[in-house]
Amino acid sequence: MKASVVDMTNKKIGDIDLADDIFARKGGEGMIYEVVKMQLANRRKGCASTKTRGQVVGTTAKAYRQKGTGRARHGSKKAPIFVGGGQAFGPHPRDYSYHVPKKVRRGALRAALSQKAKDGSVMVVDSFDCNEIKTKSFVEKLSKLGVKTALVVHEEPTENLIKSARNVAHAKVRSYQGLNVYDVMRYEHVIFTKAALEKVQEVLKS
């Protein structure tokens, strides 16, 4: 499978081979779903917390006498039925993270890249750098390439490139080592530098 290599003005300057095992696979939607779900679950903080009646600070005195009032008997103002009392069965800090097998994660990434390639949303540029930290310059580069939302996969992103892109809501810069299924599926286009593509194919080859 061939792909065009373009410069930053979107002019074709050559071709590059895309591995069929990575960019031309069929199926895999189930793996993509499982891995994206895992990534989102691993991002959850799980820090919601409530106090039980044993943790609420308050008086331990009996609210009123046991008999003779006509009211229900109560032994503590910290019971869940009272305002300011403890919470029954409330949330407590927990860890939502879990992991799927490495083979599934790799398979899902191949399937996601194959879907992008099938849609014509994979681009390869000879290089992608910024000479200064300037958001406007980064947005102009994307505009020249004819894309609106994009994941830029770089072999070794510079500080200028990272900082120029960090305030752009519709784009993200990633090192090839941090390439993941969620980012691939989130953005409309995936832009690889030629060097990053070669490294990705080396890592994901069967």
Q: What is the pLDDT of residues 92-121, one digit of tens each?
A: 999 999 999 999 999 999 999 999 999 999
Question: What is the reported pLDDT for 164?
Answer: 94
Distance CA 199, CA 155 (A): 8
**Which residues, including other chains, have CB under 8 Å from residue 42's CB and lie 6 or more apart?**
96, 97, 98
Residues of each domain in the chain carrying CATH 3.40.1370.10:
2-44+100-204
Q: What is the pLDDT of residues 168-197, one digit of tens each?
A: 999 999 999 999 999 999 999 999 999 999
Q: What is the pLDDT of residues 123-159, one digit of tens each?
A: 999 999 888 999 999 999 999 999 989 999 999 999 9
Cross-strand pairs, 124: 5, 192
Buried b (16+ CB within 10 A) or exposed e, 1-12: eebebbeeeeee
| Backbone dihedral angles phi then psi of residue 15, each to the nearest 5 degrees | -130, 160
The pTM for the full model equals 0.83
Q: Are 122 and 188 in contact (CB under 8 A)?
A: no
Strand ranges, E, within the chain:
2-6, 12-17, 122-125, 150-154, 171-175, 189-193
Count Cβ atoms below 10 Å from residue 166 Cβ, excluding itself.
13
Share of the chain above pLDDT 90, in %: 87
Split at pLDDT 50, 70, 90, the class of 206 is low
Instruction: Check pLDDT > 70 for residue 72.
Output: yes
**Which residues, including other chains, have CB under 8 Å from residue 91's CB and lie 6 or more apart?**
48, 49, 50
CATH number for the region 2-44+100-204 comes to 3.40.1370.10
Split at pLDDT 50, 70, 90, the class of 42 is very high
Question: What is the reported pLDDT for 76?
Answer: 92
